[in-house]
Amino acid sequence: MKGLKDIIILGIETSCDETSAAVVKNGREILSNVISSQISIHQQYGGVVPEIASRKHVELIIPVIDEAIREAGISIHQIDAIGVTFGPGLVGALLVGVSAAKALALSLDKPLIAVHHIEGHIAANYLEYKELEPPFICLVASGGHSHIISIEDYINFKIIGRTRDDAAGEAFDKIARALGLGYPGGPLIDKAARSGNKDAVDFPRVHFSDDSLDFSFSGIKTAVINYINSQRQKGEEVNINDVAASFQKAVVDMLVKNTVQAAERENKNIIALAGGVASNTYLREEMKRLAEEKNIKVYYPKPVLCTDNAAMIACSAYYRYINGITSDLSLNTIPNIRIDEKY
């Protein structure tokens, strides 16, 4: 706003296998967003190896922060605060980012702000849509998380539904591996599904009888693997594209149905998507189609903001900062913290 000082936040994200630093102005304007991905390193193992991820973060964190400051065209002394992911995530990976953030906060005498990783994913929508404000419903789906969350305001959240076993992205990775597609599974399943028949195989969907909006993806994962093994034992061809499309349809059906129901129950007319699975083209199409039938508007960030990145962390940190919420230098990682836990 005119006459008010701009607030510049440095964000740091190292919760899994992306080393990222970003500079965001006034919570909505990205000045830089540097992401160094380790996908090519972990591909040969079929998934993220925590020890390797941590060592790579140690190697990259300072150069990535330096590049983010340089791309933003500012001096590091111009930042007002430092936001960092402290959980959930891989403990060794988180420690690298938190240690770097604490060192900077101490040396620069700047406030330190702890950010919940899922809060960051939600905030990615604010970077994409300047007009978006709470309240709304957000589906956060990734390799480690599958939550339906009611966004009450910028810093208060209520869990409406969550997975009781595997995360949606984890199921995508495991089925991609079973089909021989590789890692990471989400984009590969999405691509294969475009050439397949989504009605070829009717895989099971889990809906709980207790009126819960929770998810369960372990059953469909097992069903797909059993189908693949059965076809191969009978000497019959496994149509990879058809299986990918049918599996994807089953998962998306569950995600969309529960999320739209959550919006109706909570009397919210906006749904936002967040997390790596939010990049899935079929999920975006189906959510938009079903939600708009109910007069519910759907938002989703561009793919680069769906993956782990520090711009979303800086955005979330901004809203904690303007509400006077900071952390001291005793901040530690909490690898399994829930989104609705106060910190």
Please, are residues 62 and 102 in contact by the beta-carbon 8 Å criterion?
no
Residues 221 and 205 in one domain: yes
Question: For 239-265, what is each residue's pLDDT tens digit?
Answer: 999 999 999 999 999 999 999 999 999
Mean pLDDT of the chain: 95
Does residue 294 sit in the same domain as residue 312?
A: no
pTM of this structure: 0.94
The percent of residues in the chain predicted with pLDDT above 70, rounded, is 99
Residue 159 contacts residue 116 (beta carbons within 8 Å): no
- Of the chain, the end-to-end C-alpha distance in Å amounts to 30
| Total number of domains constituting the chain | 2
Mean pLDDT of 24-51: 90
Confidence check: pLDDT of 1 > 60: no
Q: Is residue 105 part of a domain?
A: yes
Write the pLDDT tens digit of every residue in 259-276: 999 999 999 999 999 999
**pLDDT classification of 24: cutoffs 50, 70, 90:** very high
Q: Domain check: are 51 and 196 in the same one?
A: no
Is the per-residue pLDDT at 2 higher than 80?
Answer: no
Predicted confidence (pLDDT) per residue in 42-78, tens digit: 888 888 888 898 999 999 999 999 999 999 999 999 9
What's the pLDDT score for residue 119?
97
- Structural domain contains residue 340: no
Per the structure, the complete domain to which residue 146 belongs is given by 134-303
Main-chain dihedrals φ then ψ at residue 211, nearest 5 degrees: 70, 15
Q: Are residues 188 and 243 in the same domain?
A: yes
CATH code assigned at 84: 3.30.420.40
SS3 321: helix
Is 255 a domain residue?
yes
Q: Is residue 24 part of a domain?
A: yes
One domain for residues 240 and 206: yes
Closest C-alpha to 78, from 88, 68, 87: 68
144 and 261 assigned to the same domain: yes
Confirm whether 87 is domain-assigned. yes
Same domain for 116 and 23: yes
The band of 207, judged by pLDDT with boundaries at 50, 70 and 90, is confident
Looking at the fold, whether 83 and 219 belong to one and the same domain comes out as: no
